[in-house]
């Protein structure tokens, strides 16, 4: 990062959206109400989270419809409702009325979200979907791979926000492959600059951890990171409040030019 972009980045705040999906994964393992993802969202809020993210999957493997209703009703933070672009989800979103919707691709057999949304290949389908949500006052973001053609398409279909999928960067970090890490990071940097240049708000997320978050948080154009699986896992060891606080500290340090 150049000192110029470091200075610009320091001036821009960066938000942390805490994804509480995997509190529901643990709850559902036993079929009862505990642990409650809404209680986790409240703890995250108390620790300084700037938003709550939850993904209502079509197969309801973790978050369920009523969790979304309760998150909206009980938590005083912006709710980012992740979902596939289906008619069923549209109906639920119209009822819950979250602050934001992040449209993601879904595949029943995937373990997690494996790739970004193919906006470029589905413009005629996605454009009216985005328009209807926007007309209902919901801020729409599209979860895309760091590729210019997908970002350009996101602008064309009228989405005000893109969330860059950082999964490939996570994989490179997990495999400890420095060249691959540098390559994936460069793709994210270029994608963020390209999106911001088109006037889009830029978010990023997937697979971010204490160990890999700082180079991404240092990218000046990125305004929000959504982080879940690592924070919920780490909370077993240090508690959710402490994990959220540490993540925010790392993000802020990266933003203000701290070393990483």
Ligand X SMILES: NCC(=O)COP(=O)(O)O
Ligand Y SMILES: CC(=O)[C@@H](O)[C@H](O)COP(=O)(O)O
Q: Annotated binding residue at 255?
A: no
Among 27, 206, 248, 255, binds ligand Y (CB under 6 A): 206
Q: Annotated binding residue at 203?
A: no
120 flagged as catalytic:
no
Residue pair 238/244 in contact (Cβ under 8 Å)? The answer is no
By CB under 6 A, the residues from 34 to 53 that bind ligand X are 53
Among 9, 37, 105, 205, binds ligand X (CB under 6 A): 205
Residues 6+ apart with CB under 8 A from 11: none
Is the alpha carbon torsion for 108, 111, 113, 114 positive or negative?
A: negative
Helices (H), 120-177: 123-135, 148-156, 167-174
Among ligand X, ligand Y, none, what binds residue 129 when CB lies within 5 to 8 Å by partner kind?
A: none
- The 10 Å CB-count burial string (b at 16+, else e) for 111-132 is eebeebbbbbeeeeebbebbee
68 near ligand X, rule: CB under 6 A: no
Binding track, positions 17-36, relative to ligand X; x by CB under 6 A: --x-----------------
Q: Annotated binding residue at 90?
A: no
215 near ligand X, rule: CB under 6 A: no
Strand 79-83 relative to strand 51-55: parallel, antiparallel, unpaired?
Answer: parallel
Residues 6+ apart with CB under 8 A from 254: 213, 214, 215, 216, 217, 218, 260
206 flagged as catalytic:
yes
The residues annotated with a catalytic role in the active site are 55, 82, 206
Residue ranges of the annotated binding site are 19, 21-22, 30, 57, 62, 112, 207, 228-229
Question: Would you tell me which residues interact with ligand Y (CB under 6 A)?
Answer: 19, 21, 55, 57, 82, 104, 112-113, 143, 205-206, 228
List, as residue ranges, the binding site for 1-deoxy-D-xylulose 5-phosphate. 21-22, 57, 62, 112
What is the binding site for ligand X (CB under 6 A)? 19, 53, 163, 205-208, 226-230
């Amino acid at each position: 990062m150049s000192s110029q972009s470091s200075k610009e980045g320091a001036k821009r705040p960066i938000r942390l959206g805490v994804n509480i999906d995997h509190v529901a994964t643990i709850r559902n393992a036993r079929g009862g109400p505990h642990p409650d993802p809404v209680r986790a969202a409240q703890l995250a809020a108390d620790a300084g989270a700037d938003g709550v993210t939850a993904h209502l999957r079509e197969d309801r493997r973790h978050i369920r419809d009523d969790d979304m209703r309760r998150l909206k009703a009980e938590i005083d933070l912006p709710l980012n409702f992740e979902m596939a672009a289906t008619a069923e989800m549209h109906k639920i979103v119209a009822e819950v009325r979250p602050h934001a919707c992040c449209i993601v691709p879904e595949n029943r057999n995937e373990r997690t979200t494996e790739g970004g949304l193919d906006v470029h290949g589905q413009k005629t389908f996605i454009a009216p979907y985005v328009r209807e949500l926007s007309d209902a006052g919901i801020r729409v973001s599209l979860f895309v791979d760091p590729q210019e053609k997908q970002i350009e398409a996101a602008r064309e279909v009228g989405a005000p926000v893109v969330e860059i999928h950082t999964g490939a960067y996570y994989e490179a970090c997990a495999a400890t492959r420095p060249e691959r890490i540098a390559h994936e990071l460069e793709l994210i940097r270029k994608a963020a600059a390209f999106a911001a240049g088109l006037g889009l708000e830029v978010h990023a997320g997937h697979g971010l951890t204490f160990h890999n978050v700082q180079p991404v948080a240092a990218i000046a154009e990125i305004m929000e990171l959504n982080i879940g699986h690592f924070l919920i896992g780490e909370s077993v060891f240090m508690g959710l409040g402490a994990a959220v606080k540490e993540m925010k500290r790392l993000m802020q340090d990266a933003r203000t030019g701290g070393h990483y």
